[in-house]
Amino acid sequence: MKSGSLLPAGNFSEGVLPRRSVSDGQFLDPGDPAVFAITDFTREHPVTVDEERQIDAALEDMIRLGVRALLVTRDQRIVGLITSYDIQGERPLQFLQSSTYSRHQDIRVGHIMTPWHKLLAVDWDSIQAACAGDLLHVLEEAEMTHLLVIERNKKSASPIVRALVSRARLARQLRSLRRAG
C-alpha cells in the first residue's frame, strides 16, 4: 500500500455507516491481509459520540468501552473524529486560549475534534489489496493514530465509512505474534 493511496475525507460531503456482519482474529503477521487489522463496521458496532458531549464524559466513554477514538456525529452523520490523545493533550488548553470559553468543563467534543474535512481516509479497495505490515508503515510514516476506510456508495454521493484503523491496536496485534512465536 502506497501513501499516495491516502485521500482527504473532505473530498466527500459526509459519510454514512454500513450494515453489520461478523468479527475477526487477534494476532497478525506483517504479511497478513490488512482487512484483518481494521475495525470493520460491518462486523463491529462503531463507537460514536455526539459533537455536543462534554470532553471528559467522552473520555470516560472511551475508557469504559476500551477504545481510544470515537467517530463524532451530528444528526446521525459523521462530522469528525476525536481521540483520547486529543482530550488529554494540548487541544483543550489551545481551545480555551483561542476562544471566549474559560472553563475546561465547558469544552465540547466538537470544539477539539478533528473535523471531517481534515481526516485522511483510504479506499476500501486499497485496504483489500494491502497487507497489515504495509498499513502500519503508512500510519507510522504519516504520523497518524487513526485512519478512516471509505467505501464508495454507488447509490449516494456520501461514502460509507466502512472501517477505522488504529495504529496502536495494529502495532499490538503485530507485536503479539512476535511474542507468541
Query: Is residue 104 very low, low, confident or very high in pLDDT (cuts 50, 70, 90)?
Result: very high
CB atoms within 10 A of CB 151: 20
- Give the Cα separation of 85 and 83 in Å (integer): 5
Q: Is the pLDDT of residue 177 over 60?
A: no
Output the domain CATH number for residue 117: 3.10.580.10
3-state secondary structure of 177: helix
Q: Is the pLDDT of residue 12 over 80?
A: no
pTM score, two decimals? 0.79
Residue identified by cell 475477526 is 24
Mean pLDDT of the 96-101 span? 96
The pLDDT of residue 135 is 94
Domain range spanning residue 65? 3-180
The pLDDT of residue 25 is 46
The pLDDT of residue 21 is 37
- For the segment 52-92, what is each residue's pLDDT rounded down to a tens digit? 999 999 999 999 998 999 999 999 899 999 999 999 999 99
The pLDDT of residue 181 is 45
Mean pLDDT of the 88-99 span? 96
Number of domains in the chain: 1
